[in-house]
């Protein structure tokens, strides 16, 4: 799902020269320290033989390859899963998937839990409860009138969740778990994490 959201399953990885893009952003100044470090790291990746300078393409902000890693993420999480001596997130799907999985695992992903699910909120639901910092056991959300789509009961599970309603409690609402927060370490947007979760569910079905 991350592969699909980031680059349409590898079909649109960005055509910008990563080194030139990062050099421009480092010079531009608003986040000069950050982009200067990313620029140096990108050059280290080239120096390490993982990709040639001409083939190091990505987004205008320097995100690279089929999973759109910044150079620092590449250094921390990229994997040479096919054992060819290069961590190739541009052309090797085994490397792309293993690198993505390593990022998620290192960020706290729990295989035993889902990311969350869309839910129906009762009328008069307190908007203050729709906050990622408000965590309650599922049976408590059940008592508060939260139901699955189709008005079913919430599952019985021994962990907590939060209600996220990006467009307010009158719009779509989601009961999210720890893996949702892991997805937000990849991208801080609630919309992004929800999109990835919903696409993952569709792929699984």
**Tens-place pLDDT, residues 138-172:** 999 999 999 999 889 999 888 899 999 999 999 99
Residue 64 carries which DSSP code?
B
d(CA 24, CA 62): 10
> What's the whole-model pTM score?
0.90
Q: Cβ distance 66 to 98 under 8 Å?
A: no
CA distances 50 to 36, 45, 72, 153, Å, are 20, 6, 14, 50
Smallest CA-to-CA distance from 184 within 176, 193, 175 is with 193
In whole angstroms, what is the distance from residue 108 CA to residue 36 CA?
Answer: 28
pLDDT at 156: 86
Tokens in use for 45? 């990746």
189 pLDDT above the threshold of 90: yes
């Amino acid at each position: 799902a991350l592969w699909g959201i980031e680059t349409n399953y590898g079909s649109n990885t960005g055509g910008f020269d990563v080194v030139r893009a990062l050099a421009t952003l480092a010079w531009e100044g608003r986040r000069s320290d950050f982009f200067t470090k990313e620029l140096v790291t990108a050059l280290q990746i080239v120096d390490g033989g993982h990709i040639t300078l001409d083939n190091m393409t990505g987004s205008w902000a320097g995100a690279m390859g089929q999973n759109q890693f910044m150079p620092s993420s590449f250094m921390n999480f990229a994997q040479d899963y096919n054992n060819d001596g290069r961590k190739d997130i541009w052309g090797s799907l085994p490397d792309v998937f293993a690198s993505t999985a390593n990022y998620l695992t290192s960020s706290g992903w729990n295989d035993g839990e889902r990311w969350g699910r869309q839910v129906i909120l009762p009328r008069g639901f307190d908007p203050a409860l729709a906050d990622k910092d408000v965590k309650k056991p599922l049976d408590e959300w059940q008592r508060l009138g939260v139901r699955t789509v189709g008005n079913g009961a919430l599952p019985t599970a021994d962990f907590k969740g939060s209600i996220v309603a990006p467009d307010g409690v009158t719009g779509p609402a989601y009961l999210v778990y720890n893996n949702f927060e892991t997805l937000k370490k990849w991208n801080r947007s609630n919309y992004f994490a929800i999109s990835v979760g919903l696409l993952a569910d569709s792929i699984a079905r």
